[in-house]
Structure 1
């Protein structure tokens, strides 16, 4: 039976616990330093606490240490990994192959999406280098994932969250324009800025639009197809996201995954243990999103991937403005709005420009009194990008309770009564003795004893079966039952944490030099230290260029994208649309600099180049 894993992000200890509570089978969290989200580093001590909590439910903890590394940092990385091993992590997510050459414990290695995992040959090499799992590129469709899965590696694939317009690991725009490297965890998010687009003659084609900004991924409907294609880990993006975001998105995907498994109980099961009760109704439209796309799983005409109006959150669509009453300061919407006072609004005007305000008062099911009235025009699209009540619900209290289902048995013992707690497969039972005389009761005690045993309260345990058949006729003081239940519960949880053994595997490098002989690696291999260089040379490669961060290349490809501005304009040559009337190259202009666009139509890619 195949285990399916929901993998959620965590920026800190509190978010990690929230993710586990709301249905994650695993979480990924940043190392103290050297993760691809530099501002989301977490201390070793907090990671240890995360491991204890996660392992109680047989959930895993993966640590992202996925930047490229400089020579001066390798010793520190080695020390950090040793500490992470002692903290009990389950795997490392890495980009820099120098890590495979360090003297580190046998923690399973996952190849980060920053490694540009798109082709069969890349996956074969990763397998031979000793990687256990590959995080496949977001750009792959179901068929491409299916082909890669045939290689026998664990497949982890993104299902939700922000999209990089460039293929991960191949973006150097931030480094080029700001000296902040995406491969070093300090991306300046140049792709979210507004640009002017001109042709080679200086004609303005588009002005002040977010031409490189994409919508957010939402593949919640595609979990069955992805699972059948070979995906075993479904990854939610967002190590900088808030606790309400992580709660809502994790809960949504956990419920969807359970629904799929219920239809296929003999083929799939969840990778961790725990039954969850939610006190809210998950809704993806109420969390930060720039509009949603399945990202290349559907035809792009039906499912556009770009978000040129704004890189800000759109949220859920409310409707269109049908009437404005300036005197009463009210806006009427063409459908029931379901808004509340304090909700945030995004307004998209007919010309594509945007404004924002919030709701002050609800006038009717169709009308609102906004904070700003003069920004509205008839026909404007209105979105709710901040649901105040929903966010307050998720931020302010416990919204999910996760419990391990157990069986409780109270039986006769020569020293009194034996209380035994038994969990699912993989858990050791916990047993404690109630030292008490076998005194027959004057009236039946079954209901009282059962009720007392099942008072598991704040523990992470929930009784699914309570067997008191041997003791119903005996009197046992409630205080003794309560104390035994407390001791047994603590013992069960302690054993679960202490007996959990993170997987450790001996790695053998088996990659053949012959396979790679004569292949030159450019700056796109992101080789930033001598140990990584040594690693690739041992595999037969020739190092032609070092990482762009060390030796910037003139006329370099700064981005490699599946998003295509020419296509967005309606001039896709593959789709035999209208020939483009503008002279190439097309140029993107921003205060930070100019970028040149190159179109590789044969491979359906847009390359963003230096502007000169």
Structure 2
């Protein structure tokens, strides 16, 4: 089925099918995962067989599986991508998340298509166009405010998806080319070099240093926990967690965190419902601070905010644990606000760097009015811990006890089931009806004998039928419709129950109605623009044909085509370093002592040998990081995972 307007979908990431299963058990209504190739996380690929098994598991709970094919494709890759899509369709996948419009011009199965965040959906016009072109779900840009989302929803009937948690790309998704320009590794092709996490020095137009060796393009992590209901009211229906590179513990923790928050909303809002089946029972206390993050921000959801950047470090420093009280030759003592465990991961700041410490052995020395006193014997030599001294604050980014709770069963998910036992001419019949209205009936032939002890016999039948144990079901009622109390051997009733449960699981799978592709409008919708620059990421002839069909007259090639030799914006971002350092012209308006017009003059950003110009477009509040592709990359063939022979043009016919 497609996502309905009253349904709320929690969408979790999965690096592997195993993580995908746990995401579903911890409350995900849908999971997105990479296929064998062409995903925007090239190190998070999965074979078709694993995805097929995940699909079967998910559909039992009415959860959906989406596969990412969200890179731009070279002409040489199109046929391989088409074949992979058919394999994914045959495996039962519910939808593809795509960026390359060339796929819409190919012979594809009737599988639903979702427009990736790489499509850079920021306007009503673009959202309407993509909905009219056959997309069944739209992943909006992370930079949108709640009010902007509300305006899009008012004009668009296609279900809207929005990132609510995880790492933030500083650039508008799909509008970052800095990695390819410097290293030949294209973010639009799933191979980002993470230039935004490097340290930079920022200088103004007169060469004065504004910030030295700071991680100026590194954002804190997205956290919309406080905005969930506002996003619901604005029209978001799919709530997406970032993290296809994240580990099992992260996915369990963050999925469970948002499952509990959404369930609380659903409890108060009967007009809304969960997008999949079952009840999730979380067996630990989720804590967003316990797994990887760079600090928390709701980014631009409520407008431009101060301190959205993780300028000091792009690493996970964890939560504050305590203060160093004393140094020894092979240990140091800590006054902590919480218990410790062997194997805890600690860190502290030394100048501009985060120094990690592995707590090999810890011993509690006692308690004080300031907290617990612990002695830490680090895995490292004490002389290696530069800058560690009494009074230093220590953080914990690996809580061994807490992580251990996630390594065992940490959640269960059950579908409510009603059981009715009746008799017929030659035995018993067990009828099952689940919360989705699916009904099955299983018969077992047996000779029935009157029970000598009626109450005891009925109690035994109730007990045997209620043993759903490790199945996906929980009892929602047992009815015995018998003409008289019968004695039934426990082995017989248990066998009937097992057969009935197996048949019902099969029936749930058979009843799954996979959503069909949305038909595009006819005649074809007109694209909002008539000219496209390299920013449109047109990398193959099929994509060019798509835009031509939709009224675009001039189409430039994608940056990865190596046709942009000069300086161009390599990154376009809503993050503004002028604003971060109180140098924004809008900030200066009305400030006492500021005379004349403050201009947003260009600035310079330097990291190692790389040098970029920052230009500021103040009307839409955007910053452009400007630079040029390195000559060696420019001269190389455009990248493709499928070998091809690039065309070579000669001034005259080559001699034989």
| Normalised TM-score (structure 2) | 0.88
User: How far does residue 358 in structure 1 lie from its aligned partner after superposition?
Assistant: 3.0
Is it true that 1:455 corresponds to 2:467 in the alignment?
yes
Residue 240 of structure 2: aligned partner: 235
**CA deviation profile, 1:116-160 (whole Å, cap 9, x unmatched):** 000011011101111111000000111111111121110000000
Residue 494 of structure 2: aligned partner: 482
User: How far does residue 260 in structure 1 lie from its aligned partner after superposition?
Assistant: 0.6
Residue 166 of structure 1: aligned partner: 171
Residue 248 of structure 1: aligned partner: 253
1:594–1:611 CA contact under 8 A, matched in 2:
no
Is it true that 1:366 corresponds to 2:372 in the alignment?
yes
Alignment of 1:492-511 (within 5 A): 492-505=504-517, 507-510=519-522
**CA deviation profile, 1:358-384 (whole Å, cap 9, x unmatched):** 334244443343424653245544322
1:8–1:237 CA contact under 8 A, matched in 2:
yes
User: How far does residue 463 in structure 1 lie from its aligned partner after superposition?
Assistant: 0.9
User: How far does residue 528 in structure 1 lie from its aligned partner after superposition?
Assistant: 0.2
Residue 573 of structure 1: aligned partner: 585
Is it true that 1:308 corresponds to 2:308 in the alignment?
no
How many matched pairs? 605
SS for the counterpart of 1:313 is coil
The match for 2:398 among 352, 365, 386 is 386
Residue 594 of structure 1: aligned partner: 611
User: How far does residue 464 in structure 1 lie from its aligned partner after superposition?
Assistant: 1.4
CA gap of 1:179–1:546, structure 2 versus 1, over 3 A, is: same
**CA deviation profile, 1:213-264 (whole Å, cap 9, x unmatched):** 0111111121111111111100000011101110111011011100110011
Is it true that 1:344 corresponds to 2:356 in the alignment?
no
CA gap of 1:69–1:226, structure 2 versus 1, over 3 A, is: same
User: How far does residue 346 in structure 1 lie from its aligned partner after superposition?
Assistant: 2.6
Alignment of 1:111-126 (within 5 A): 111-126=115-130
CA gap of 1:583–1:25, structure 2 versus 1, over 3 A, is: closer
Residue 634 of structure 2: aligned partner: none
CA gap of 1:426–1:31, structure 2 versus 1, over 3 A, is: farther
**CA deviation profile, 1:421-442 (whole Å, cap 9, x unmatched):** 1111252324233423242333
The match for 1:207 among 206, 212, 227 is 212
Structure 1 stretch displaced more, 290-299 or 21-30? 290-299
For 1:610 and 1:471, how far apart are their aligned partners in 2?
A: 84
1:511–1:539 CA contact under 8 A, matched in 2:
no
CA gap of 1:592–1:471, structure 2 versus 1, over 3 A, is: farther
The match for 1:610 among 608, 615, 627 is 627
2:585–2:598 CA contact under 8 A, matched in 1:
no
SS for the counterpart of 1:341 is coil
For 2:114 and 2:235, how far apart are their aligned partners in 1?
A: 16
For 1:584 and 1:380, how far apart are their aligned partners in 2?
A: 40
For 1:345 and 1:429, how far apart are their aligned partners in 2?
A: 55
Residue 272 of structure 1: aligned partner: 276
User: How far does residue 393 in structure 1 lie from its aligned partner after superposition?
Assistant: 2.3
Residue 569 of structure 2: aligned partner: 557
Residue 189 of structure 2: aligned partner: 184
For 2:627 and 2:615, how far apart are their aligned partners in 1?
A: 10
| Normalised TM-score (structure 1) | 0.94
2:568–2:628 CA contact under 8 A, matched in 1:
no
SS for the counterpart of 1:139 is coil
User: How far does residue 206 in structure 1 lie from its aligned partner after superposition?
Assistant: 2.2
For 1:564 and 1:593, how far apart are their aligned partners in 2?
A: 19
1:347–1:354 CA contact under 8 A, matched in 2:
yes
CA gap of 1:583–1:542, structure 2 versus 1, over 3 A, is: closer
Structure 2 unaligned residues grouped into runs of 5+: 630-656
1:27–1:62 CA contact under 8 A, matched in 2:
yes
For 1:91 and 1:515, how far apart are their aligned partners in 2?
A: 24
1:410–1:471 CA contact under 8 A, matched in 2:
no
For 2:9 and 2:177, how far apart are their aligned partners in 1?
A: 32
User: How far does residue 291 in structure 1 lie from its aligned partner after superposition?
Assistant: 0.8
The match for 1:428 among 439, 442, 456 is 439
For 1:394 and 1:514, how far apart are their aligned partners in 2?
A: 50
Residue 528 of structure 1: aligned partner: 539
For 1:315 and 1:263, how far apart are their aligned partners in 2?
A: 33
Alignment of 1:127-146 (within 5 A): 127-146=131-150
Is it true that 1:221 corresponds to 2:232 in the alignment?
no
For 1:176 and 1:506, how far apart are their aligned partners in 2?
A: 37
Residue 540 of structure 1: aligned partner: 551
User: How far does residue 583 in structure 1 lie from its aligned partner after superposition?
Assistant: 10
For 2:209 and 2:70, how far apart are their aligned partners in 1?
A: 40
Structure 1 unaligned residues grouped into runs of 5+: none
For 1:346 and 1:584, how far apart are their aligned partners in 2?
A: 39
Provide the aligned C-alpha RMSD in A: 2.3
Residue 417 of structure 2: aligned partner: 406
Is it true that 1:72 corresponds to 2:76 in the alignment?
yes
For 1:251 and 1:230, how far apart are their aligned partners in 2?
A: 22
For 1:427 and 1:251, how far apart are their aligned partners in 2?
A: 27
For 1:113 and 1:449, how far apart are their aligned partners in 2?
A: 54
For 1:486 and 1:158, how far apart are their aligned partners in 2?
A: 41
1:125–1:511 CA contact under 8 A, matched in 2:
no
CA gap of 1:511–1:203, structure 2 versus 1, over 3 A, is: farther
1:3–1:269 CA contact under 8 A, matched in 2:
yes
Residue 13 of structure 1: aligned partner: 17
CA gap of 1:381–1:575, structure 2 versus 1, over 3 A, is: farther
2:451–2:487 CA contact under 8 A, matched in 1:
yes
For 1:439 and 1:90, how far apart are their aligned partners in 2?
A: 51
For 1:179 and 1:511, how far apart are their aligned partners in 2?
A: 40
